C-alpha cells in the first residue's frame, strides 16, 4: 500500500500527540527497526490505534474490523479514510473461515517483513480489565517466526471512552516489553492456548490490570443482556 497518505497523516497528527497528550513511553527500544514483528497490546479505547502507532518509529499495520470501513454517513467516511491513511487492513473477524482469512492476511503482512499490530483480546475491554486472549496471535507468532512485543496502554479509556468522538486532553502512557519468541506445533490447540496465556500474563504484569479468564466479547454480551 502506498505510504504517502500514512506519512502525511503521521506528520499531521504527531505534533498534536506530543503537545496535547505528552506521551510517556518506556521500552520503545525493544521494537526492532526492521523485519517481521508482532506488537500485541491491551485494548482500552479506539484511540489506542492512533496513539500507539504514532510513537513507533516504523509503520504498524493493524487488522481492523471491516465495520470500521463500512460505517454510514460523514462520520463513517472520516473513520474509513483515517484507517486507510494509517495503513489499516479491513478483515472480517466474526469467526470460522473468516477468522482464518484474517490469519492468512496477518501472515502475509509478516512475510513482507512488516510490523503487525494485534489486540489479542479481540475487542476493546468493556470495563478496563484485561480479558482472555484469542489464540490467533499464537499461530501468527509460531508460523511466521516473528517476535512478539507486548504492550501496555494506560489512560486511553479515560481519554476517549467508548462512544465519545472528541478525546479528553490528558497524558497517555505506553510500555513496550521485551521480545517474546515462540516455536512449536501451530496445530496443537492446547499449546496455542498456553502460548496465548503467556502473552496475556506478560501484558497483565505490565499493565497491572485485573485479569478476567473469559472473552471480552462474552462479557460485553452479558452486560448488554443484563441491561435489557
Q: Hey, where are the domains in the chain?
A: 4-227
Q: Between these two residues, 13 and 96, which has the higher pLDDT value? A: 13
pLDDT reported for residue 12: 85
> What grid cell was written down for 110?
509478516
The 10s digit of each residue's pLDDT in 160-203 is: 888 777 889 999 999 999 999 999 999 999 999 999 999 999 99
Q: Is residue 151 within 8 Å of 42, Cβ to Cβ?
A: yes
Question: Distances from the Cα of 185 to the Cαs of 43, 141, 142, 151, 182, in angstroms?
Answer: 28, 11, 8, 25, 10
- Average pLDDT, whole number, for the chain? 88
DSSP track, 165-191? SSPP----EEEE---B---S-TT-HHH
* Torsion angles phi and psi, residue 24, rounded to 5: -105, 110
Q: State yes or no: pLDDT of 126 exceeds 80.
A: yes
Question: 4-227 has which fold?
Answer: Glycerol-3-phosphate (1)-acyltransferase (3.40.1130)
Helix, strand, coil percentages (3-state) for the chain, rounded to 5, are: 45, 15, 40
Q: State yes or no: pLDDT of 68 exceeds 90.
A: no
Would you say the C-alpha torsion 75, 84, 147, 102 has a positive or negative sign? Answer: positive
pLDDT band at 2, cuts 50/70/90? low
Q: In the block, which residue shows the cell 525493544?
A: 30
Question: Distances from the Cα of 163 to the Cαs of 45, 47, 76, 166, 209, in angstroms?
Answer: 10, 12, 13, 10, 22
> What grid cell was written down for 159?
481519554
Amino acid at each position: 500500500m502506498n505510504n504517502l497518505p500514512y506519512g502525511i497523516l503521521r506528520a499531521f497528527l504527531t505534533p498534536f500527540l506530543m503537545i496535547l497528550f505528552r506521551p510517556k513511553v518506556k521500552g520503545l527500544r525493544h521494537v526492532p527497526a526492521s523485519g517481521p514483528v508482532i506488537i500485541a497490546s491491551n485494548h482500552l479505547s479506539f484511540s489506542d490505534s492512533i496513539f500507539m502507532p504514532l510513537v513507533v518509529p516504523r509503520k504498524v499495520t493493524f487488522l481492523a474490523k471491516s465495520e470500521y470501513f463500512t460505517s454510514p454517513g460523514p462520520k463513517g467516511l472520516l473513520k474509513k479514510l483515517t484507517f486507510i491513511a494509517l495503513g489499516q487492513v479491513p478483515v472480517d473477524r466474526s469467526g470460522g473461515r473468516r477468522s482464518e482469512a484474517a490469519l492468512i492476511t496477518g501472515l502475509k503482512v509478516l512475510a513482507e517483513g512488516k510490523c503487525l499490530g494485534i489486540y489479542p483480546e479481540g475487542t476493546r475491554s468493556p470495563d478496563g480489565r484485561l480479558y482472555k486472549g484469542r489464540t490467533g496471535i499464537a499461530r501468527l507468532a509460531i508460523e511466521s517466526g516473528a517476535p512478539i512485543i507486548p504492550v501496555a496502554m494506560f489512560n486511553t479509556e479515560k481519554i476517549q471512552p467508548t462512544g465519545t468522538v472528541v478525546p479528553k486532553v490528558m497524558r497517555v502512557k505506553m510500555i513496550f516489553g521485551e521480545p517474546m519468541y515462540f516455536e512449536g506445533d501451530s496445530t496443537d490447540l492446547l499449546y496455542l492456548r498456553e502460548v496465548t496465556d503467556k502473552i496475556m500474563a506478560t501484558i497483565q504484569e505490565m499493565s497491572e490490570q485485573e485479569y478476567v479468564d473469559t472473552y471480552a466479547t462474552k462479557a460485553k454480551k452479558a452486560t448488554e443482556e443484563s441491561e435489557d
